[in-house]
């Protein structure tokens, strides 16, 4: 069974008298364990599609299932619960909580899930070591470089072993060496833990590492490539 199933989804943004079809009748299925990227020019609908899959936004028409659950038409509360238990997010701007340490940022989602203090502390430390941040657990986000902050964001997204991680331009603010290291890290987590990853990107280095590349243009899927 597909882990993500997007069926005939349209999303129209209306501003004044203008309507922009950010997604126009998009259908796509993503299988468990895939490492997929969404690519396309600025404004082609990548972020809009990720927001739909991540239950951060709702379509005007069509249906979406994630991890076996129909998410279209869910209440706000049920969507929050779905995100907490099924989905990890990595945003371009990291979205770390500035007043919390790296470790506390990573622990936070486990706390929301009710994981006991000792267990979540140990798990956050283990995952921070896995992303190469041993010794930096107590630093605040502003005491870390951009690449290190993005590693914390990745650690936070994967610490709860979600079914799927959605990453919107995760390497956009990183130099190519740091970006490549981060991608290899995510590839490793994909292979080891079987977590499904879906990225949006403009970065050729990210596309090279993806097994499946979905090309969007003007809110439609233009074509896709698959690699061994």
Ligand X SMILES: Nc1ncnc2c1ncn2[C@@H]1O[C@H](COP(=O)(O)OP(=O)(O)OP(=O)(O)O)[C@@H](O)[C@H]1O
Taking residue 38's Cβ as centre, other Cβ atoms within 10 Å add up to: 27
| Nearer Cβ to Mg ion (59/131) | 59
> 10: helix, coil or strand?
strand
CB 201, min distance to ligand X, A: 9
| Nearer Cβ to ligand X (13/117) | 13
In the stretch 195-214, what mask flags binding to ligand X with x, by CB under 6 A? Answer: -----x--------------
Candidates 37, 47, 101, 160; binder of ligand X (CB under 6 A) is: 47
Binders of ligand X in range 21-40 (CB under 6 A)? 22, 40
| Nearer Cβ to Mg ion (57/123) | 57
Give the number of C-alpha atoms closer than 13 A to the C-alpha of residue 177, restricted to the C-beta side: 0
Q: Which two tokens stand for residue 16?
A: 């004044």
- DSSP result, 137-176: TT--GGGS-HHHHHHHHHHHHHTT--SEEEEESTTTTS-H
Give CA–CA dist 144/129, Å, rounded.
15
| Nearer Cβ to Mg ion (144/167) | 167
User: Is residue 9 near ligand X by the rule CB under 6 A?
Assistant: no
User: Is residue 47 near Mg ion by the rule CB under 5 A?
Assistant: yes
**Residue keyed to tokens 């997604």:** 23
User: Is residue 44 near ligand X by the rule CB under 6 A?
Assistant: yes
CB 193, min distance to ligand X, A: 27
Give CA–CA dist 193/57, Å, rounded.
28
With contact defined as beta carbons under 8 Å apart, do 180 and 118 qualify?
no
The site for ligand X (CB under 6 A) is made up of 13, 15, 20, 22, 40, 42-48, 200
The site for Mg ion (CB under 5 A) is made up of 46-47
């Amino acid at each position: 069974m597909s882990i993500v199933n997007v069926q005939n989804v349209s999303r129209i943004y209306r501003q004044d008298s203008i309507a922009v079809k950010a997604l126009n009748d998009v259908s796509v299925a993503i299988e468990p364990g895939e490492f997929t990227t969404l690519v396309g020019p600025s404004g082609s609908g990548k972020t809009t599609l990720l927001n739909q899959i991540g239950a951060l936004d709702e379509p005007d028409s069509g249906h979406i299932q994630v991890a076996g659950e129909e998410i279209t038409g869910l209440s706000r509360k049920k969507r929050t619960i779905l995100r907490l238990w099924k989905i990890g997010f990595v945003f371009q701007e990291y979205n770390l909580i500035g007043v919390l340490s790296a470790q506390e940022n990573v622990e936070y989602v486990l706390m929301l899930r009710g994981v006991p203090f000792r267990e979540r502390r140990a798990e956050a430390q283990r995952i921070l070591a896995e992303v190469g941040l041993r010794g930096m657990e107590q630093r605040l986000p502003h005491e870390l470089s951009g690449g290190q902050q993005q590693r914390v964001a990745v650690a936070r997204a994967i610490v709860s072993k979600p079914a799927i991680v959605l990453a919107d331009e995760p390497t956009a603010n990183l130099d190519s060496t740091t970006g490549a290291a981060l991608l290899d890290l995510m590839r490793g987590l994909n292979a080891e833990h079987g977590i499904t990853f879906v990225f949006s990107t403009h970065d050729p280095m990210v596309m090279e590492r993806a097994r499946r590349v979905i090309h969007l243009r003007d809110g439609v899927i233009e074509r896709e490539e698959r690699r061994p």
